Amino acid sequence: MPHWELVIFFAFIAFIYASVGFGGGSSYLAVLALYGLPFKELRLIALICNIIVVCGGVFIYIKSHQVDWKKIVPLVVLSIPLAYLGAILRISQNIYFIILGCSLVVAAILLWTKTRDRSLPVTERSGNQSILKNSALGGAIGFLSGLVGIGGGIFLSPVLNLMKWDAPKKIAAAASVFILVNSASGIAGQLTQLPGNMNHTRIILLGLAVFIGGQAGSRMSVRFDPLIIKRLTALLVFFAGIEVLVKHL
């Protein structure tokens, strides 16, 4: 496998993202895009790595009763089919990278502007209004996630915090579940149009790297300042997004 340094990069990204409750899809894509990998393989790798990293987090959140299924179901009810639809949509490689670059820049801005986690009062809304708003939000992010090849948590989490949707831990749990189901849906869509010359060795090695990094990150999370980590991640994603746009515009 060429570019062995990717294994180290992916393990480090998984370590950082797992420490703040994300899967790392945006940064995997950012790094792979800079290496010029075929975009169909690039998306598949990012989603597989997402699932590997967030599975442990979802288990922990469920075990600690942080997953509020009543509020999460509206978020994913439309996101799952729309993530699949986004994944099967046929677009050119150049258009894909333009969308990816714009998505990375927006994700970086959302991460940077997110305030420090604190106990905020949850915004009260009527039941129907809340369900419709959550479903529309989840569906829109799900479609973009499937199209680009991420789980969507990097978009969802900052938006839910700005909406004062729930306590920070509940939002982190919701984002983890969202990433997991949308990544699985995106993979299902991509399996319908994968090229025959996939580099399976690269996929396996990068999957092992994020498993190790993600497990370490989830156990070390209490030792880091989440705000600093998110802002450093935002800088990485932002500059990668600009680099992608410069190359393809």
Domains in the chain: boundaries? 5-248
- A 10 A CB-CB count for 50 gives 33
149-175 pLDDT, tens digit each = 888 888 888 888 888 888 888 888 898
Averaged pLDDT, 219-244 = 73
**Rounded distance, CA 136 to CA 99, Å?**
20
59-97 pLDDT, tens digit each = 888 888 888 899 999 999 999 999 999 999 988 888 988
The structure tokens listed for 15 are 């370590």
The total number of residues shown for the chain amounts to 249
CB 29, CB 150: distance < 8 Å:
yes
**Rounded distance, CA 57 to CA 22, Å?**
9
Question: By C-alpha distance, which of 61, 76, 73, 78 is closest to 167?
Answer: 61
Evaluate if residue 143 carries a pLDDT over 90. Answer: yes
DSSP state of 198: -
| pTM given for the model | 0.84
CA distances from 101 to 22, 95, 105, 189 (A): 19, 10, 6, 22
Task: With cut-offs at 50, 70 and 90, classify the pLDDT of residue 210.
Answer: very high
Task: With cut-offs at 50, 70 and 90, classify the pLDDT of residue 41.
Answer: confident
Evaluate if residue 121 carries a pLDDT over 60. Answer: no
**126 SS3 class:** coil
Question: By C-alpha distance, which of 60, 105, 115 is closest to 243?
Answer: 105
The burial class, CB within 10 Å (0-12 / 13-18 / 19+), for 21 is buried
Helix axes 93-113, 127-148, angle to 10 degrees: 130
